[in-house]
């Protein structure tokens, strides 16, 4: 049944592509942005709900802080499950092809996401609500491990020598765009509905939207991977799946370094997205909808900063830009807690400045080390590097930052951010030594 469904989707993709001849970098870029935006939209919809919905819906029997920490613990499960998903779906890719892998992965992601829209609360089924929430989150993580399509690597490899920084930043645009759409949608629901209606049904709507966006992303990617020209590019560039165990044996050291090189970016990523929302929601006398609008504004600055990172990296080098940004993040960590605790003006400055630094750093975080993989292992190695980078840098960041800040004050979150900057600088130094 599943095989016939996949075959039907592939056939439709080929029919669409029969009207088009040739694939250019612009089309690849659009496919990359759509795919990454869909993934990050799913990510942020869950993240926002884990702050303003799940503590009340699933954990009403504990205090709000404990409920949020439990939500963040479940939030991390997707990052733990993601490498497992990569292992499973790389095997599917090897045996049944990239289209089968993408179709199964994105349908699993969509089903796991839309299932959250039907999640019953603690009052209906007791602690089983938490288990269902965890199961859906694990499903999202496994699916995300299979959504690696190689488009970003192919885009970077087709880039001219003097434009690699520009092409490296294109996939990263999906993060702030996904946040803008998710925060904007939740802000609209929060501001236009009563509290009763929002918690009864309004919060569920973004999860239905996430499913629809996943469907669009699926066909956008299949349209690319089903063209003969695109298949030849993959074969010619040797962007083929390799066994995960074999890849780790050969390229394990580079995978580990690649996972820690963007740690400063990923630590800051959560310090300006998920963590501040939880801190404001729990500790500040401010409407949630207002702060969500601030996030939308700040994320727009993040888009501009990511674009700027492409121009800057092509002039000074990606490693230099990442190192400079890590130092800037270290400096930012010193006064970020004061800004976040400085009222609406301080919050706005914190968010905008944080997103500018994040955009410059995050825009190049994926290309600094992965480009060093040998061709035979680049496809699988890049996927594993991405998985581990998100696990180490982002998976537990909201939980750790909120836990430390709640017990030791906001200054503790600044120290956590500083540790990420130090890890990045060390990883970049080691990588430079290995590459020389």
pLDDT for position 57: 94
Which pLDDT does position 241 carry in this prediction?
Answer: 79
pLDDT of res. 25: 65
Q: Are the C-beta atoms of residues 355 and 391 closer than 8 Å to each other?
A: no
Whole-number Å distance between alpha carbons of 202 and 190 = 8
Output the CA torsion 264→268→270→271 (10° steps).
140
The stretches in the chain having pLDDT less than 70 are 1-26, 149-159, 225-239, 285-286, 366-372, 431-436
List the one residue out of 384, 30, 67, 46 whose CA is nearest residue 185: 46
Q: What is the pLDDT of residues 27-55, one digit of tens each?
A: 777 777 888 888 888 888 999 999 999 99
pLDDT of 214? 79
Question: What global pTM score does this model have?
Answer: 0.85
Query: Please, are residues 416 and 424 in contact by the beta-carbon 8 Å criterion?
Result: no
């Amino acid at each position: 049944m599943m095989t016939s469904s996949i075959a039907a989707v592939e056939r439709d993709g080929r029919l669409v592509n029969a009207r088009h001849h040739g694939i250019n970098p612009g089309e690849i870029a659009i496919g990359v942005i759509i795919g990454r935006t869909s993934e990050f939209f799913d990510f942020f919809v869950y993240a926002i709900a884990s702050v303003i919905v799940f503590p009340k819906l699933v954990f009403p029997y504990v205090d709000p802080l404990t409920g949020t920490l439990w939500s963040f613990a479940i939030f991390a499960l997707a990052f733990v499950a993601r490498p497992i998903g990569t292992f499973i779906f790389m095997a599917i890719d090897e045996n049944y092809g990239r289209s089968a892998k993408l179709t199964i992965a994105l349908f699993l992601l969509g089903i796991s996401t839309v299932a959250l829209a039907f999640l019953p609360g603690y009052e209906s089924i007791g602690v089983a609500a938490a288990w269902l929430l965890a199961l859906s989150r694990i499903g999202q993580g496994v699916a995300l491990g299979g959504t690696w399509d190689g488009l970003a690597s192919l885009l970077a490899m087709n880039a001219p020598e003097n434009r690699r920084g520009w092409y490296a930043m294109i996939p990263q645009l999906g993060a702030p765009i996904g946040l803008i759409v998710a925060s904007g949608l939740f802000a609209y629901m929060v501001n236009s509905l009563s509290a009763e209606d929002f918690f009864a049904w309004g919060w569920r709507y973004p999860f239905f939207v996430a499913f629809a966006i996943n469907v669009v992303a699926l066909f956008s990617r299949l349209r690319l991977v089903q063209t003969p020209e695109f298949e030849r590019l993959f074969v010619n560039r040797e962007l083929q799946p390799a066994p995960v165990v074999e890849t780790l044996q050969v390229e394990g050291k580079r995978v580990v370094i690649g996972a820690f090189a963007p740690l400063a970016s990923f630590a800051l990523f959560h310090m300006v997205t998920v963590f501040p929302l939880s801190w404001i929601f729990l500790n500040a006398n401010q409407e949630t909808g207002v702060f969500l609008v601030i996030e939308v504004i700040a994320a727009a600055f993040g888009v501009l900063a990511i674009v700027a990172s492409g121009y800057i990296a092509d002039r000074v080098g990606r490693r230099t830009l990442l190192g400079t940004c890590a130092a800037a993040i270290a400096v930012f960590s010193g006064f970020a807690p004061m800004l976040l605790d400085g009222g609406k003006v301080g919050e706005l400055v914190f968010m905008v400045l944080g997103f500018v630094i994040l955009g410059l750093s995050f825009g190049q975080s994926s290309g600094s080390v992965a480009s060093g993989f040998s061709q035979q292992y680049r496809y699988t190695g890049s996927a594993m590097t991405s998985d581990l980078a998100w696990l180490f840098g982002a998976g537990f960041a909201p939980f750790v930052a909120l836990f430390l800040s709640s017990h030791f004050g906001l200054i503790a979150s600044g120290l956590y951010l500083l540790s990420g900057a130090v890890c990045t600088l060390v990883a970049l130094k080691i990588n430079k030594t290995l590459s020389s």
